[in-house]
Amino acid sequence: MYTHFKEINELISRSEKIILTTHVVPDGDAIGSVMAFAGYLKQKGKNPVIINHSETPDNLKFLDKKNIIRVFSKDRLKNEKLISEAEVIFLLDTNEYSRTKSMEEFLINSPAQKVCIDHHMGLKPRQFNFVITNTVYPATCQILYEFIKDDDEKYFTKEVASALYTGIMTDTGSFRHPRTSSDVFMVCAELINDGADPVKLYDEIFANVTKENLKLTARFLDGLQFHSDNKIVTGTVTKEDFRSTGLDIDHVEGFTSLIMNIKGIKIGIILVELKDNIKISFRSKGNIPVNKLAAEFNGGGHKNAAGANIKGYSVKELRKLILEKSEKYLEN
């Protein structure tokens, strides 16, 4: 952590034009963060505007019932103006402007004060005027919980608590990933007391599998390849898989946990073929630093969960190349 909560509180108090944003392909922690923080700011009499590069995934839309999240490409000129006239911009759940894709240059060029609140590694603090970061926390929403609590617990309305709970539940993989500390449960217990419903929230987010989802999953499982004595598994999702099921990348999220549940697996790699690049997800068990493997492909992330985006290869070529570089990480 670099900035004291109080400094950011003072910044909020003296600012009116406040923008919140998060990363491309937003997950539960990303949408939970912007919605919880917006709910908090509203109670403080502010009128924050959320602008994201991506549409909100269907299973997270329940957090934004009033549909307040603006998508940058829709009504783009207005969104550019909002960013260029902002006094404060909060970048939540990422510390890289590039992960806001089409918004990157507008955020960087805006004269606004820039605040980053995030839990990822690899922060370059000089890009921001204020930074709150803690890579020990499993979710940005846990940092926001502390921030809001430090101000006043009265701001934990049912909506705010539900958004924060969503971020923590999803980024901990439903309370089973390595950073699931006892503190996580203490925080979630309080959020449940404040109105977050763990059963309803789980069902909203996860209990919505369709026939098409199952078909995409079947194609994915059918294409899994095992390597290095079954310690490494690679899987792919191709444009053809998306075309034949009518689904998109939003429906691939659960695949990493599927392959990491395979008995004895150490490294799991998924390649997703998109319109003009291939998105790679790396996962590992124990002490294997897949963020270093991801860095070999210009990506990054955490020790056990990392990613990269690559252009100029076919899925087959890239799979072979990644595999060649993966095997040495098994020795850790």
Could you say which residues in the range 279-318 bind Mn ion, by CB under 5 A?
Answer: none
| Binding map of ligand 5GP across residues 114-153, x = CB under 6 A, - = no contact | ------x---------------------------------
Question: Minimal distance in Å, beta carbon 326 to Mn ion?
Answer: 24
Among 41, 93, 165, 236, binds Mn ion (CB under 5 A): 93
Residues 22, 91 contacting (CB under 8 angstroms): yes
Residues 220, 273 contacting (CB under 8 angstroms): no
Residues 205, 70 contacting (CB under 8 angstroms): no
- In the list ligand 5GP, Mn ion, none, the entry touching 93 (Cβ below 5 to 8 angstroms by class) is Mn ion
Residues in the chain, overall count: 332
| Binding map of Mn ion across residues 126-165, x = CB under 5 A, - = no contact | --------------x-------------------------
Cα 103 from Cα 118, distance rounded (Å) = 18
Span of 79-87, 216-224, 261-269, 303-311 interacting with ligand 5GP by CB under 6 A: 303-311
Cα 185 from Cα 306, distance rounded (Å) = 25
Place of tokens 């919505």: 208
Cα 145 from Cα 92, distance rounded (Å) = 13
- In the list ligand 5GP, Mn ion, none, the entry touching 306 (Cβ below 5 to 8 angstroms by class) is ligand 5GP
Structure-token pair, residue 108: 């960087």
Exposure of 187 in the CB half-sphere (CA atoms within 13 A): 29
Among 49, 62, 309, 313, binds ligand 5GP (CB under 6 A): 309
Residues 53, 79 contacting (CB under 8 angstroms): no
> Would you say 182 or 298 has its CB closer to ligand 5GP?
298
> Would you say 29 or 159 has its CB closer to Mn ion?
29
Among 50, 205, 299, 322, binds ligand 5GP (CB under 6 A): 299
Structure-token pair, residue 76: 């783009």
- In the list ligand 5GP, Mn ion, none, the entry touching 26 (Cβ below 5 to 8 angstroms by class) is none
Cα 305 from Cα 157, distance rounded (Å) = 32
Q: Is 301 in the site for ligand 5GP (CB under 6 A)?
A: yes
Q: How far is CA 22 from CA 29, 128, 188, in A?
A: 9, 15, 22
Among 63, 305, 318, 322, binds ligand 5GP (CB under 6 A): 305
Among 87, 300, 323, 330, binds ligand 5GP (CB under 6 A): 300
Span of 108-116, 145-153, 200-208, 306-314 interacting with ligand 5GP by CB under 6 A: 306-314
Q: Is 118 in the site for Mn ion (CB under 5 A)?
A: no
> Would you say 15 or 180 has its CB closer to Mn ion?
180
Question: Minimal distance in Å, beta carbon 315 to ligand 5GP?
Answer: 16
Cα 75 from Cα 307, distance rounded (Å) = 30
Cα 138 from Cα 300, distance rounded (Å) = 16
Among 89, 306, 318, 322, binds ligand 5GP (CB under 6 A): 306
DSSP string spanning 12-46? HHT-S-EEEE--SS--HHHHHHHHHHHHHHHHTT-
Binding site for Mn ion (CB under 5 A): 29, 93, 140, 171
